[in-house]
Amino acid sequence: MSQTTVAGTPGHAASAAEGTHLRRVLGVPSLVLFGLVYMVPLTVFTTYGIVTELTGGRVPLAYAITLVAMFFTARSYARMAAAYPYAGSAYVYAQRSFGPGVGFLAGWSLMLDYLFLPMINYLVIGIYLNAAFPAVPQWVFILVAIALVTVLNVVGILSVARANFVIIAVQALFIVAFVALSLVSIGGTGQVDLLAPFAGDGSVEGTGVLFAGAAVLCLSFLGFDAVSTLAEEAKEPTRSVPRAIMITTIAAGVIFIGLSFLSQLAFPSNAFTDVDSAALDVMGAAGGQFLAIFFTAAYIAGATGSALTSQASVARILYAMGRDRVLPRAMFGRLSERFRTPVVAILVVSAVSLFAIVIDLGLLVEMISFGALIAFSVVNLSVLKHYFVDRRERNGAAAVVNNLVLPLIGFGLTVWLWTSLSPRTFVVGLIWLALGLVLLGIVTRGFRRPVPMLDLREDGSVDDGDDHDSATAAAAPSGGRVQG
């Protein structure tokens, strides 16, 4: 972020800019690693048992359907990230395209999965470590993980980025070992049906269950959304963030399909010892006790990394909404003077994550997908509104395809997946949206006042309304504010 110097007060202006804005330190490799660690390449095994039972042993096919839908949505995120390179993700995109009211509801929906995603990581850490060390209660592992992740996030985004390299390396080593041992195990059976992971085991039939499974698997792809939340900490955000979004989505999709394909060949059954920790049955069949232990270590590392990155992302969305005065600004819209991180937002996410001690894994998975799919739908429509309607980029076939056809395809596929979720998901999700409307009513004093809207500038800065930012505001170039 460039610093603004005003005659007579250079130190004050620099200090103000430095104290209220996030640091631009991340390039494309760091952003891609952030996205992949957020997704966790081994996240296949988080819902493996649930989706195997749901689809009748067709997890790879369900992942392929999800990847197609997510490709179009990731492309929409990339385009909106280029147009509005700011923290806030779907919240900012919807706000600038459809107005602050829609933006708030999009951000509120996205908050559902962002608040729950750290929770799911803590929960699976507890599940697998408790399976490895039954004498230690599951909640102990959850509390230790929350404390560790909170400290790293408070220290700053660079500590998260550095940890990501180690975490992704551990998972990469495990994937190599898993592929090698699975191939040996599969080859040793003498009879391999390579189409079985796509044909299923016959326990359930029809395409409806495939789309239901694909809807659940949307949570696996939240990493590309997470990349967009780091736009204010990325170098050259209008170029690096869109590239990182697409690379992350495609790379993760290939990994997910490949791992689930090998898993169902190695263990062609849905008769799991425990559906929540079904991966341990797969590992035992593919590589015995050694692979099961290696998997637990790699998976815990991956879940910790995902908790790190997901907590960082949701804290920045809370920061953007607090800076915008949609949430209490004194709590959420401030950065720590020492660490330049949204410390209060990070601590709030940690407190919410304590529910991992009591919540059900199946419901948690479904709720994350519910919030994500609403946000994905809004972002697809934001591309159409911003480029096709507002900027009138519709001359020629290429412009029509890019700005109308492709985002509409992404929107249609997302809605299809969204309607495939279970009824209980809609009950909880609609309650969450109702709470958002109540909060919006409070902020706007019974909808009599306009919804606060973030003032974005073309130089990449944000006018957050602080008096100490008056020097920066005065020095901004004329016409530098982006109008909604």
DSSP per-residue letters across 73-125: HHHHHHHHHHH--STTTHHHHHHHHH-HHHHHHHHHHHHHHHHHHHHHHHHHH
Q: Answer whether 103's CB lies under 8 Å from 96's CB.
A: yes
CA–CA dist 193, 200 (Å, integer): 11
Name the CA dihedral angle for 420, 365, 326, 88, rounded to a multiple of 10 degrees: -90
State residue 423's pLDDT score: 85
State residue 361's pLDDT score: 82
pLDDT digits (tens, 9 = 90+) for 449-461: 777 665 544 444 4
> pTM of whole model > 0.85?
no
pLDDT digits (tens, 9 = 90+) for 314-363: 887 788 778 877 778 878 877 777 777 788 888 988 999 999 998 888 78
Q: Answer whether 345's CB lies under 8 Å from 365's CB.
A: no
Burial class (CB in 10 A: 0-12, 13-18, 19+), 477: exposed
The two structure tokens encoding residue 116: 């729950």
CA–CA dist 377, 304 (Å, integer): 29
CA–CA dist 80, 379 (Å, integer): 8
Runs of H (alpha helix) within 324-339: 329-332
State residue 19's pLDDT score: 45
CA–CA dist 27, 244 (Å, integer): 9
pLDDT digits (tens, 9 = 90+) for 151-180: 888 876 666 666 667 777 888 889 999 999
pLDDT digits (tens, 9 = 90+) for 219-278: 788 778 778 878 878 888 888 989 999 999 999 999 999 999 999 998 987 788 888 888
The percent of residues above 70 in pLDDT, for the chain, comes to 86
CA–CA dist 128, 235 (Å, integer): 37
